Amino acid sequence: MRKYFNVTGLCTPDKHYMVDISRKLVQIQRLVDRGFYFTINRARQYGKTTTLVALEKTLADRYLVIRLDFQVLGSASFQNENTFSLAFASCFLKAVWIADKESAADSTALAELCKREGERDCGLDLRRLFQLLQNFCESLQKPVVLMIDEVDSAVNNQVFLDFLAQLRYYYLERAAQNSAAFHSVILAGVYDVKNLKRKLRGDEEHKTNSPWNIAADFDVDMSFDVDDIAGMLQAYESDVQTGMDIGKMAALLYEYTSGYPFLVSRLCMMMDEKLGKESGFASEKEVWTKEGFLAAVRMLLMEKNTLFESLLDKMEAYPSLKQMLRELLFAGKEISYNALDPSIALALMFGFVKKQNHAVVPANRIFDTLLYNFFLSQQETQGEEISLASQKDKNQFVLDEKTLIEAVV
């Protein structure tokens, strides 16, 4: 069975057509080698988990890599520091056993304490947990790298902020006293952990805290460039032999997606699996042309998928973000980049926009058109006058002498 384009969950080289991310892994490993703590903060379905798994394999020879997923802990684990500490320790021990069975022997004290404290109704607190984790790191020959995926599961919990504060303390103590600690910590999620918002007093005002101010900047570009996409298409072409112009197809994919991993893979999957005779294409050779690509774009913009639903949910959750995007994408307002503007920060974090020449612009043509259609439909539903707004900056949506909107409907 040949490989296929994957858009759900983890991508693996033996099963899926994938972009070669080895260059990105080298850049990330450089941060790990320097002992940095940092966050891989990217939008939904941007390849974060796939990157972590690949990085784990890359680092395995030099480090003991402990990879956790906070989704596994469950919401009940964040009720207080005792329930969290016990749940974290349990997952940590399991990950140690998976990573290196020999190192598992060095975690006996932690395992015994977890068992004993569990019987005593979760008496393990963060202070005692981190003392045991420090002892564990000190007992090993290899430096320990801690990876935590899906940290979004915990961003609105005080106990998570306290957990970050403990990581910060031991990081600083490592430098000041040369004491044992995790060599490197990597947190992965959508939300920027440096600027967590949380409620401290019920429904009162949100406050911000930065217990993660020790984190190094993560500037690795995780989007795909034209060469990345071409490499993936070359692997596909070697198997299927469609006769496509790989360079032109890679350029088209990048032009419309700006290298957003999910969008690239989804369009390729549609051309590979969903476009055929029923769509008016007689052969695979006809599918992998500009006409086939545009048909896949139309199909993508008309579907309901998890990424698009997530984007729209974020707009409803943050009214100021929705208003800013409406002004940018529908009314054609020029918005200067301001790193301190909360709405701009949210739009960047969720992947709606990107920074370009000191201005905020749509992240890619797919999102541009998707959101334009969304605001247009809302206006029509509300019965508002839209003629001026819909004509403003119309050239953004021109495609082969038609508007992309006309091509979709």
Residue 180, sorted as left (phi over 0), alpha (psi -120 to 50) or beta, turns out to be: beta
Tens of pLDDT, residue by residue over 8-26, are 989 999 999 999 999 999 9
> Is 344 exposed, middle or buried (CB count within 10 Å of its CB: 0-12, 13-18, 19+)?
buried
Structure tokens that stand for 318 in this block? 């943050």
| % pLDDT > 90, the chain | 64
pLDDT at 208: 52
More confident of the two residues 108 and 252: 252
62-82 average pLDDT score: 89
Confidence band of 123 (pLDDT split at 50, 70, 90): low
Q: Which of 167, 186, 221 is nearest to 34 (CA)?
A: 186
pLDDT at 80: 87
Distance CA 62, CA 111 (A): 25
Tens of pLDDT, residue by residue over 208-230, are 556 788 999 999 999 999 999 99
Q: Which of 223, 144, 156 is nearest to 186 (CA)?
A: 144
Structure tokens that stand for 105 in this block? 């022997």
pLDDT at 77: 83
Tens of pLDDT, residue by residue over 349-390, are 999 999 999 999 999 999 999 999 999 888 766 655 544 455
Q: Give the mean pLDDT of the chain.
A: 86
More confident of the two residues 192 and 6: 6
pLDDT at 73: 86
Distance CA 244, CA 288 (A): 6
Phi and psi (nearest 5°) for 39?
A: -120, 130
Confidence band of 90 (pLDDT split at 50, 70, 90): confident
Q: Are strands 144-149 and 64-69 parallel, antiparallel or unpaired?
A: parallel
More confident of the two residues 338 and 153: 338
User: Over 60: is that where the pLDDT of 117 sits?
Assistant: no
pLDDT at 199: 38
| % pLDDT > 70, the chain | 82
Task: With residue 13 as reference, give the H or E element that holds it.
Answer: none
pLDDT at 205: 44
User: Over 70: is that where the pLDDT of 402 sits?
Assistant: no
Residue 355, sorted as left (phi over 0), alpha (psi -120 to 50) or beta, turns out to be: beta
pLDDT at 106: 59
Is the pTM higher than 0.75?
Answer: yes
User: Over 50: is that where the pLDDT of 264 sits?
Assistant: yes
Question: How many degrees, rounded to 5, is the angle at CA 218 between CA 33 and CA 37?
Answer: 50
User: Over 90: is that where the pLDDT of 75 sits?
Assistant: no
